[in-house]
Every structure is written in structure tokens, then in C-alpha cells.
Structure 1
Amino acid sequence: MRLSRAAVLAQAKAAALDGVRRLNCWGSHLTDISICRDLPNIEVITFSVNGISDLEPLHQCQNLSELYLRRNNIRSLDELFYLKTLPRLRVLWLAENPCCGPDPHRYRMTVLRNLPCLQKLDNQAVTEEELSQALVDGVEITAPPARSPVENGWSSTASSATGATTEPQSQLLSCSLEDTSKTQEELDMKLVPRDKYSSFSTQETDCSCKKTNNVLNAILLLMKELDAEGLEIIQQTVARRLQALQKKELQEE
């Protein structure tokens, strides 16, 4: 799916593309982010849980400081070539992509060798020792990834033509408790303790548990878009709901 100008303006609540500072398109089934070439002032982008494979459109986002790309279809670390030109990039979340490969150390060292200004990678702080070690263990990327004409044309059949596969929508929408926690971390929200979910495993089926987690993820994402008045309404609604549940539990006892 292609990210459109209208969708960007609506999500960012901006009148023009050069006024967009933050963009959150988590779990939107995106594959084409070419619109990012027209976002010169963007500072924070959340593209986690999509089908993105090409990072070339990001190389003009010179003000970008935080980039969340967890769980996409980025197949090669050569895509980092397009991020090396971003002078303000300090936070990158790239985990759970095919490019991470079977060797976590080599992956992290390669990312840090090419992006030495990062302060946090995959939600882990970058240390001076790691940056020094990256010069030895990491692979320097000096050229962009090779692409076929089909890929460059953003064809919808690119995956089948190259043998690449993306996660089906059912997998993208099926979020575990770990996914819920990662979403909260990406949105800078306070994590909900795992023991709050303990009843799900014994009282709900797996299907019901996944549905509950998906609903929770959706609520957390939408809450970030609310103003103070909207959050107060949510708070009042939650309080009434909790009272009703507590009353029901007392009656059952």
C-alpha cells in the first residue's frame, strides 16, 4: 500500500507537507513510502509493523532524529546507505526485519559502524565500547542496494518477481503481549506490567487473547492523538467501566 499525501496530512494534522514534524503509521500495511521525499522537516517517524523494504525515500529527511522500522520487510543492511546522510538521526529501531540475520552481534556492529551517531538502537542504549568494536566487527556500507527494474518501479508484483515475501495481514494484525509492550515503548508510554494480563492465559482462548491485545494496541495508538479534553473523557469512561466490573465481581462472590 502506498502512503498518500492526504493520509500524511490527516495523521499529522498538518496543512502542508513541510509542516509535518511527527508521523505515526504503525501497522498500516505500507510498502511504498515515497511521499517521505516531500517531508523535509519530519523529525520522528513510526513505520513499525508494515511491509516496507526500500528506505531510499528517507534520505532527504535531514531533520529526522527518531526512526521506528521494527517488523517490516527490509531484507538487506545495504538499505542503511540511505540513512548515513541523516545528520540528526539518534534513535533507530530496526529489529525483526530479515536484514537482521542470524548473527545479532554482526548486525548490531554493522548498523553502528555505518550510523555512529546513534544513541539508541533497537531500544538499547549505544555505548562507546560498542562504537569502537563496530569499527572492527562491523561491515562498512559504501553503496546502495542493487534493485531490479521491477522494484524501482514500485510494482505491486515486486515481491513475487524477486522471490521476496512479506508478512500476511493476519500476522501483522496478530500482536502478542511482547508486541503490545514494544508499541508502548515506541510511543513513549508507561509499560503495563505483565501480571495484569495473567488472567488471559487461563480464562481466555488464544484467539480471544490475541483479539484483546490488538484492541489494547489500537487504544494506545489512538490515545496519543487525543488532547486533554479527550483524555479526560477516556479517564471518566475507564473509571465507570472499572466500577461496573468491580460491582459485578462482588455480586458473583
Structure 2
Amino acid sequence: MAGGRPQGWIVVLPLKRLGAAKSRLEHPGRALLALAMATDTAAAAAAVGRDVVAGVLLVTNDPAATAAITGRAADGDDASAGYPADGGGPAPVLAVPDLPDRGLNAALRHGARIAARRWPGHGVAAMSADLAALRPAELRAALLAAPAAGRAVLADAAGTGTVLLCAAAGSELLPQFGVDSHALHVRSGAVDLTGGLATTVPGLRRDVDTVTDLAAARLLGVGPATSAVLATAAANAG
């Protein structure tokens, strides 16, 4: 195992208010699509297996997103059913308000602090909430590859952004998401997982900001919530 002994990670997912989410995505159901992608992302993360992912923490000020995503998890509606997973069943999906309300990095720092208090001794894994094609096995492989101490980063499909930033227990997350975030995270000391994982985790590396990204995710196979929104949009357009 490249990253040493496994540890129970807490996955932190930031999500804007749905009305403001995915502003670059030119799609008639943009808000519903943002919610669906976050739902699929959270479900896939929760299905990794509790030996690797101990919990999923959604950071958002959108009450509809909070109700939909945590409610779906509580009902046991696993949006990643059929994907490979190990280790004792789905992790809990919880939500907390984005109290700083000052953008992505502030939300992630806030979520990391809450995770450290609620789950002491666990690492924190900050992840994009728009990974519509994510499979649990991909996230499992990436988290098992992360070092048992310090930080690690995984680049997006373009190679410049960040889809996953890990901080092992006792390490500060230090998120710098934004333009050229992958290089910034590497320069700040995060171990780069991208080369080692390469093309083995395509869904994890495929975040969705534009219609071109969405088309690429659909080729990989999106989760059921995203698929349902896209099918409804297609039916309405027809």
C-alpha cells in the first residue's frame, strides 16, 4: 500500500448556494444539475468503505442541498450502488453551514476545523463536489495512496486544478483552490499523487465546470442523480 497504513478520512465537500453554483455551466437546469452532481459525489465518497472514509461533511448554506443530500444518505439511497466498495458499509453524510461565507478556501478551512473536532485522529480530504462520474473505488485508491503524514494533492483532468487535497491527522489542510491550484499545493509541500494514479482514476479527476466537461463526464458514466436530471432536461427540450 503506497500510502502506508490506512486511516479513516473525513471527506469535506464545499457547495455554493445552488442559485450561484456552476456559473460557467451553460445548462438550462444548472442549479438542479449542481445539486445532482453534489449528491452523486457525496454518495460515491460515502460508499468507499468506512475503513477508509469515516464520514462525509458537506459545507453549504443552501438548505435545499442540505436536506436533499443528507436526507438521501439517511434513507439509505446509495447513488453509487453497483460500484465496487469495501470496508463495512456507507459512511455518514452530515452537513454544516458555511459560517465564514467567504468563498471556497474559507469554507474548506472551516470544514477541516469542524472535522478535526468531531473526528479527532482522522485525516481530512477536501474534494470537489462536482465529480459526477466518480466511482468509490477511484477515491479509495487515491486515499490509500496518500501518505500517512503530511499533505497530498491530485490534479484535475486538465492538470492545473485540484480535485482532491488531503491532510493526514495532525496536518493543516492549507487549501489554495483556484487558478493553478495544483501547482500552488505542490509548492506548499503537498505530495503529488497525479503521476502515480495517472489514468486509473478518471472519474475522480473529471470535475465539471463547463458543458465540455459535462460531455466528458457523461462518456465516463455519470451517477444516477446526474443522469436523471440530464434525462429530464433532454425530455423537456424534445
- TM-score under structure 2 normalisation? 0.28
**Under a length normalisation based on structure 1, what TM-score does the superposition of the two structures give?**
0.26
Q: Which has the larger radius of gyration?
A: 1
- The structure with higher relative contact order (CA 8 Å, sep 6+) is 2
Q: Name the one with the larger strand percent.
A: 2
